[in-house]
A and B are shown apart, each in its own frame.
Chain A
């Protein structure tokens, strides 16, 4: 489904502070299942997920989605792919302060032009599923860490993406909250047939029984690939 061919990413190319985040990485990810990218800080996990999720472009190499070249798409097409194919959960939650939980969840769906009532009902159903119905009208800055990450998870799913990308989703949570978020992420979502890609160096994540594949990165190279 997703294929990377000799993908490299260099930041500040040609500058004294040049950083090679990924080095000729080739990878094939099948549709469905949970894949965890593990490795120390600076190993290239986040960069890899941003390239797969079309948030950045590689310096060299190609990325295809269902056989269609992604990495060279003009921006307007890339935006469409991002909206319809990928959902994102970030380490820092990246919720919009000043907006309510419900508004945050609805936000990524506005450009698709769905009827407002349908959109709001969909968002409320997601909040209900993630036990956040009571917080729907609360501002996001009033949420606890676990609630904020569950809100981010609901937001990532509002457009019903085929691929969910989570970058260190438990990094800002204590163990109890991490288990709670992981329970939702790994249990419920993977059962729906979505492809879930998670970067993490949290053993709670890559030792979870639901994980199908673990890919280990180091210095921008793949150093391990194991099926679970």
Chain B
């Protein structure tokens, strides 16, 4: 096992998130079973008082979880010099079988945690705890993932053996390889490019329609998620080629390297942030008719939709600029 300050920080975050979520899951179960806002029973009043403490603790823990995705990617990238065969984060994540599962769990938890934090923020602005059951229900869904992520990440770091010779992005993100990464890498560039920009157009139309017809919320949330998936596929299929100016280099992690001006961070941060904001906007829309949230949700939806469209705008703008300035001629 390697021990670096970043690994220790990631493990501490995982431990505190798992501990807090586990503690809160027991409370969440009580909320789902016994919560009755019209009751003046001791139990109900105790639940009302405790929800402040629990949601505050969860706020800090899940906020740290959001940051841990960034730290994990940066740590994987920075460790690439320690392993034979690793040129970037891909090689490090390939050192053992827990690397990519950890990353995928972290991405899933990033969106779930962002959603929980948003629901908590909206719930705290209603005078009668309007979303208390929804947010604690979501917490129960999130808890097993958080525990699993903590376990898988621990196994990943424990089994990081420096003598392992790993394979890097050249073999994983290869058009001739096997698996999801290889399939993304082998996508034909032109249709992928058309789909990439078609999704941007669809998202913009959906965003404007959602502002006018809030009942389209769930559809807008789904469009955000789909645009995120297409954007990631686009990065692997063609955007990375333009950045590296190499028709065979599809790695989405080398973008995080200093040699490419850390452009990956500038692409991924708005992409992840915008997706979380857009999904959040769509998911809170169905709650806009709750009396105590009628004054809060419309403003929150507008704000989040604006954030999502701006974030995707930054991502697409940067992606377009990267392709235009590249010396690679991919589409003849």
* Chain A residues at the B interface, C-beta cutoff of 8 Å: 5-8, 57-62, 69, 71-77
Contacts and interface: CB of A to CB of B under 8 A. Distances in A.
Interface of B: 37, 40-42, 44-45, 48-49, 52, 124, 127-129
Contacts of A60: 40-42, 45
A191 to B, nearest CB: 33
Given A72-B45, A72-B48, A75-B52, A61 B40 contact: yes
B127 A71 contact: no
Nearest to A10: B42
Contacts of B37: 69, 72
A6 B127 contact: no
A5 B124 contact: no
Given A60-B41, A61-B40, A73 B127 contact: yes
Nearest to B124: A74
Contacts of A77: 127
Contacts of B40: 5-7, 58, 60-62, 71
B290 to A, nearest CB: 15
A59 B52 contact: no
Given A72-B44, A74-B124, 18 more contacts: A5-B40, A6-B40, A7-B40, A8-B42, A58-B40, A59-B42, A60-B40, A60-B45, A62-B40, A69-B37, A69-B128, A71-B40, A72-B37, A72-B48, A74-B52, A74-B127, A75-B52, A77-B127
Which interface residue of B37, B42, B44, B52 has the most chain A CB atoms within 10 A? B42
A77 B52 CA distance: 14
B33 to A, nearest CB: 18
B45 A58 contact: yes
Nearest to B42: A60
B251 to A, nearest CB: 48
A72 B42 contact: no
A71 B45 CA distance: 9
Nearest to A73: B127
Contacts of A73: 127
A57 B52 CA distance: 14
Contacts of B124: 74, 76
A80 B248 CA distance: 62
Contacts of A5: 40
A74 B124 CA distance: 8
A6 B42 CA distance: 11
A8 B45 CA distance: 11
A69 B292 CA distance: 13
B45 A59 contact: yes
B128 A72 contact: yes
Interface centre among A57, A58, A72 (most CB of B within 10 A): A72
B127 A57 contact: no
Which 5 residue pairs are nearest across A and B when measured between Cβ atoms? A62-B40, A61-B40, A60-B42, A77-B127, A72-B48
A75 B127 CA distance: 9
Contacts of A69: 37, 128
A5 B40 CA distance: 8
A16 B44 CA distance: 24
A196 B202 CA distance: 62
A21 to B, nearest CB: 14
A57 B49 contact: yes
Most chain B beta carbons < 10 A, residue from A7, A58, A60: A60
